[in-house]
Amino acid sequence: MHELPQNLVNGLLLGATYGLIAVGYTIVYGIVQLINFAHGEIFMTGAFGALSVYLGLGSGTSMWITIPLMILGAIVTSTVIAVLTERLAYRPLRNAPRLAPLITAIGVSITLQQLVWGFYPSAKSPRVFPSLPGGPYHIGSILIQSSDIFVLVAAVLSTLFLAYFVRSTRTGRAMQATAQDPDTAKLMGINTDRVIVIAFALGAAFAGIAGVAWGLRYGEIKFDMGFLTGLYAFTAAVLGGIGNIYGAMLGGLVLGLVQNLTAIYIADIPGMSQFSSQSWSSVWAFVILILVLMVRPQGLLGERVADRA
């Protein structure tokens, strides 16, 4: 029989990564109602930023210095790129019909992907990412790599930080206000442009951390890794209820579990043995999305929002 605890842990770890990326989708969507298609690419550039830092430091440096610097590099890269795209591509279209920024987002996504593909040294094929030393650790029957611990710690810390930030800081409350009603927020003296930039930056920082986590876990990064991962992360955001930060995390965890468990347990359903391999897992993730939209379109934690004209 398959090892259920191990699969649960693997699913949760995958889900935590999705959740980190999904936060970016959900914050931005909550405030400007824009699906930022380029967010998956922001995640990817974060991973490449971290790799650049690693390559720049050389191999002699201690892991305790390298890893924080890599995280910093990832956060800086993805944040700078996200803020730049917001400034140059999205802001001029703030009041345009909603199709325009969506199409711009697709353009940004393709552009970023191609920039990395074309101009990052030998990024046309997957680049090897450093791995964490130590491990694997056994906890009962569960096998855990040191990169898994990183993902776990990063996800928990990030969520706690975000919760604190949104609830207890002035900027966080300004974000909530802007999400609820941008016009009134503006009347109350909130600089909504700044709030929007912060939303983009915050989401990008999380995506950068996710990029490092991804690289450490899978050992290699690719220019197009942001596309499908971004799609899953968005699915996670919708699953949890778009606009809801905890929902994004929860959605990520659920999606990670579904992907991991379907890959194994579908085979046990009579007649479905052929549909269980890893290559079908994305199909099941997608089926879940459709089902959620049918049954609970507002997502797991979302509230039914009145249509904003």
Cα–Cα distance, 41 to 223 (Å, whole number): 8
SS (H, E, C) 269-307: CCCCHHHCCHHHHHHHHHHHHHHHHHHCCCCCCCCCCCC
Instruction: Work out how close the CB of 111 gets to another protein at its nearest, in angstroms, rounded to a whole number.
Output: 3
Output 90 or 206, the one with its CB closest to another protein. Answer: 90
Instruction: Work out how close the CB of 66 gets to another protein at its nearest, in angstroms, rounded to a whole number.
Output: 32
Residue that the structure tokens 């710690």 belong to: 153
CA of 13: how far to CAs of 148, 152, 182, 191, 293, in Å? 7, 7, 36, 37, 25
Radius of gyration from C-alpha coordinates of the chain = 19
Output 167 or 296, the one with its CB closest to another protein. Answer: 296
| Residue in 172, 150, 173 with CA at minimum distance from that of residue 161 | 172
Instruction: Work out how close the CB of 108 gets to another protein at its nearest, in angstroms, rounded to a whole number.
Output: 6
Instruction: Work out how close the CB of 81 gets to another protein at its nearest, in angstroms, rounded to a whole number.
Output: 14
Output 188 or 272, the one with its CB closest to another protein. Answer: 272
Output 54 or 232, the one with its CB closest to another protein. Answer: 232
Contact 190, 173 (CB under 8 A): no
Q: Which residues of 222-236 are buried (b: 16+ CB within 10 A; e: fewer)?
A: bbebbbebbbbbbbb
Output 93 or 197, the one with its CB closest to another protein. Answer: 93
Instruction: Work out how close the CB of 139 gets to another protein at its nearest, in angstroms, rounded to a whole number.
Output: 33
Cα–Cα distance, 135 to 132 (Å, whole number): 9
Output 125 or 168, the one with its CB closest to another protein. Answer: 125
Residues at the interface with another protein (CB under 8 A): 33, 35, 89, 92-93, 95-104, 106-115, 118, 227-228, 231, 234-235, 238, 274-275, 277, 279-280, 282-283, 286, 289-290, 293-294, 297, 307, 309
Instruction: Work out how close the CB of 95 gets to another protein at its nearest, in angstroms, rounded to a whole number.
Output: 6
